[in-house]
Amino acid sequence: MNNNPLLANWDTPYGVPPMADIEAAHFLPAVREALDEAHANVEAIAACDDEPTFANTVEALEDADRLLDRVTAVMFNLNECHTNEELQQAVEAASPEITRFSNDIAADGRLFAKVKKLHDSFRNGTLDLNEEQGVLLCERYKFFVRNGALLQGADRERYKACSEELAELTVRFGRNALADNNAFTLNITDPAQLEGLPETAVAEAAAEARSRHLEGWVFTLAASSYRPFMAYAANRDLRERMWRAYMTIGNRGNENDNNAVIERIVNLRREIAQLLGFQSWCDYVLENRMVKSLAALQGFMQGLHDAAIPAAWADVEELQSFAADVAPDTELERWDVAYYSEWMARELYDFDAELLRPYFELERVKQGIFTLYGKLYGLKFTEAPEVPVYHPDVKVYRVDDDTRMMGLLYLDMHPRQSKRSGAWMTEFRDQRNFGGIEERPLIQVVCNFTKPAADRPSLLRFDEVETFMHEMGHAIHGLLSDIHYPSLSGTSVKRDFVEMPSQLMENWCYEPEFLSLFAYHYQTGKPLPTEWVDRIRDHKNFQSGYLCLRQLNLGMTDIAFHSMTEPFSGTAEEVERGAMDELLPTVDGAITATNFSHIFSGGYASGYYSYKWAEVLDADIFSRFKEEGIFNRDTAAKFRRTILSRGGSRHPADLFRDFMGRDPDQEAFLRRSNLI
pLDDT at 320: 95
pLDDT tens per residue across span 208-249: 999 999 999 999 999 889 999 999 999 999 999 999 999 999
- Mean pLDDT in residue range 265-274: 98
Q: What is the spatial distance between Cα 488 and Cα 84, in angstroms, rounded to a whole number? A: 32
Beta strands at 395-400 and 380-383: parallel, antiparallel or unpaired? antiparallel
pLDDT tens per residue across span 614-637: 999 999 999 999 999 999 999 999
Structural domains of the chain, ranges and CATH numbers in brackets: 13-150 (1.20.1050.40), 184-246 (no CATH)
Share of the chain above pLDDT 70, in %: 100
- pLDDT category at 1 given cuts 50, 70, 90 is very low
Instruction: Report the chain's mean pLDDT, rounded to a whole number.
Output: 95
Neighbours of 125 (CB within 10 A): 7
Q: Which residues contact 500 (CB under 8 A, 6 or more apart)?
A: 614, 617, 618, 621, 652
pLDDT at 329: 84
pLDDT tens per residue across span 632-666: 999 999 999 999 999 999 999 999 999 999 999 98
Longest Cα pair distance anywhere in the chain, in angstroms?
A: 82
3-state secondary structure of 142: helix
Of 69, 102, 123, residue with least CA distance to 115 = 123
- Mean pLDDT in residue range 584-613: 94
Upper half-sphere CA count for residue 579 (Cβ side, 13 Å):
26
DSSP 503-531: HHHHGGGG-HHHHTTT-B-TTT-PBPPHH
pLDDT tens per residue across span 50-71: 999 999 999 999 999 999 999 9
Q: What is the model's pTM?
A: 0.88
The alpha carbon dihedral of 366, 369, 375, 376 has a sign of negative
Neighbours of 495 (CB within 10 A): 23
pLDDT tens per residue across span 537-571: 888 889 999 999 999 999 999 999 999 999 999 89
- pLDDT category at 92 given cuts 50, 70, 90 is very high
Q: What is the spatial distance between Cα 485 and Cα 438, in angstroms, rounded to a whole number? A: 10
Asked if residue 2 has pLDDT above 80, the reply is no
Spacing of C-alpha 522 from chain mean position = 30
Q: What is the spatial distance between Cα 173 and Cα 566, in angstroms, rounded to a whole number? A: 22
According to DSSP, the residues that pair with 427 across neighbouring strands are: 443
Please pick, among 80, 132, 208, 471, the residue that the annotation labels catalytic: 471
255 is catalytic: no
Neighbours of 327 (CB within 10 A): 15
Share of the chain above pLDDT 90, in %: 91
Give the residue ranges of DSSP H helices in 55-130: 60-64, 66-81, 85-107, 109-123
Q: What is the spatial distance between Cα 535 and Cα 116, in angstroms, rounded to a whole number? A: 59
Beta strands at 186-188 and 432-434: parallel, antiparallel or unpaired? unpaired
- pLDDT category at 41 given cuts 50, 70, 90 is very high
Number of H helices, E strands in the chain: 28, 9
